[in-house]
Chain A
C-alpha cells in the first residue's frame, strides 16, 4: 500500500478501494455499520418504549378519558400526515437505491423530495395541529380550558399527545439537518456505487422515525374516532 502522506491522499486511496483500513472487505465494513446503526435504533426503541409503556398503563386505567381526548384530534389530518410520511419513506428508499447504483443526480433529487415531504409533515403538525390544539385550549399547563368530564385524565392524554408527537417531530427536525449535510456531500460527489454507507445508514434512521409514526397514528388519533 505504501505510505499515505496527507488527508487528501488518504481520501483518494479510500475512494479507490472504498474500504476503510480497519476492515477486511466491503461486506464486513457494511455489516459493521449496519450493526452499529441498528444498536442505536435499539436504544431508540427503548427510549420510545418507556413512553409507550406508560401510555399502555394509563390508556387502560382511563380508557374513557383517553377516547374523549383522542376524539378531539383531527383524524383526517393525522391520516394525511401518515401518507406524507410513507411517501417520504419511499423517496428515501429510492435515494438509497440511487446511491447504490451510483446515480448522483437521482440521489440528490430523491434527497430533496424526502426533505420537502418531511417539511410538509412538520408544517401540518405545527401549523394545522399544534397551534390549533393550543387555541382550542388543549395544551395542559399552558392553556387548558377543557371543562368536560374527566378533565384531569383528558389532560393526561394530551400530555402524552404533545410529548409523543413532540419527540417524534424532534427526530424529524434532526433528520432534516442530517439530510442537508448528506445533500451537500452528494453534491460534492462524495458518494459512489462503492461508497454510500452514510446514505444507507441515514435511510435506516428515517424509516425508523416513520415506523414510530405508524404506531403513534392509531394510538393517538384512532382511539376515539368511532363516536
Chain B
C-alpha cells in the first residue's frame, strides 16, 4: 500500500524532535568546539532532514523506486562535491594575480620561441 496514512501521534513526535534538535544545534553553536562545530551542525541537520524526508514526505512508506531517485540525486551531489573539493584542496589555491603570471609566462616563452 503506497498511499499510507500516517498516525497523527507520529507527526507530533517528529515535530517535537525537530524543534528540540533546532534548539540543540542553535545552543551548541555558541560553544567553541573548533572545527567540530561544523561537523556537529551538519550531523544534526542531516538528522533533521532525514526525519522530514522519512515521515513528513512519506519516504518511509514509498515505493523503492521513489527512494532510488533520491539516493541517485544525493549520490551525484556527493560526486560533485567530492571531485570539486578534491581538485581545489589537493592542487592548492591560485590567487587571481598568480594565475595571470602563471598563464602569461608559458605564453610569452611560446611566442619567443
Please report A residues at the B interface, Cβ cutoff 8 Å: 26-27, 30-31, 34-35, 38-39, 41-42, 45-46, 49-50, 52-53, 56-57, 60-61, 75-76, 79, 82-83, 86-87, 89-90, 92-94, 97, 100-101, 200, 203-204, 207-208, 210-211, 214-215, 217-219, 221-223, 225-227
CB of A211 within 8 A of CB of B52, answer yes
CB of A92 within 8 A of CB of B56, answer yes
CA of A215 to CA of B50 in the docked complex: distance in angstroms?
A: 12
CB neighbours (8 Å) of B44 from chain A are 218
CA of A90 to CA of B57 in the docked complex: distance in angstroms?
A: 11
CB distance from A20 to the nearest CB of B (A): 15
CB neighbours (8 Å) of A204 from chain B are 57
CB neighbours (8 Å) of B107 from chain A are none
* Number of residues from B at the complex interface, CB < 8 A: 51
14 further A-B pairs in the complex, CB-CB below 8 A; given A56-B81, A207-B57: A30-B2, A45-B77, A46-B77, A57-B88, A79-B22, A83-B22, A92-B56, A214-B48, A215-B42, A215-B45, A218-B25, A218-B29, A219-B41, A221-B29
CB of B81 within 8 A of CB of A30, answer no
CA of A11 to CA of B98 in the docked complex: distance in angstroms?
A: 67
CB neighbours (8 Å) of B32 from chain A are 226-227
**Interface residues in B72-111 (C-beta closer than 8 Å to A):** 72-74, 76-77, 80-81, 84-85, 88-89, 93
Identify the closest chain A residue to B11 (Cβ): A93
Which of the listed residues A46, A226, A227 has the most CB atoms from chain B within 10 Å of its own CB?
A: A226
CB neighbours (8 Å) of A222 from chain B are 25-26, 29, 37, 41
CA of A64 to CA of B41 in the docked complex: distance in angstroms?
A: 17
CA of A123 to CA of B33 in the docked complex: distance in angstroms?
A: 33
CB of A34 within 8 A of CB of B29, answer no
CB neighbours (8 Å) of A42 from chain B are 69-70, 72-73
In the A-B complex, list the 6 residue pairs whose CB atoms are closest, starting with the nearest: A218-B41, A42-B73, A222-B29, A225-B29, A226-B32, A79-B26
The binding surface of chain A is classed by DSSP as helix
Identify the closest chain A residue to B62 (Cβ): A34
CB neighbours (8 Å) of B73 from chain A are 41-42, 45-46
CA of A46 to CA of B74 in the docked complex: distance in angstroms?
A: 8
CB distance from A142 to the nearest CB of B (A): 23
B112 within 8 A of A: no
Which of the listed residues A30, A56, A93 has the most CB atoms from chain B within 10 Å of its own CB?
A: A93
CB distance from B45 to the nearest CB of A (A): 5
Contact A207/B38 with A56-B81, A57-B88 known, Cβ cut-off 8 Å: no
11 A-B Cβ contacts within 8 A? A27-B1, A34-B2, A57-B88, A61-B88, A61-B93, A76-B26, A82-B22, A217-B22, A218-B45, A223-B38, A226-B30
CB distance from B31 to the nearest CB of A (A): 6
Q: B11-53, CB under 8 A of A: which get 1 and which 0?
A: 1000100110011011001111100011001101100110011
CB of A35 within 8 A of CB of B30, answer no
CB neighbours (8 Å) of A39 from chain B are 69
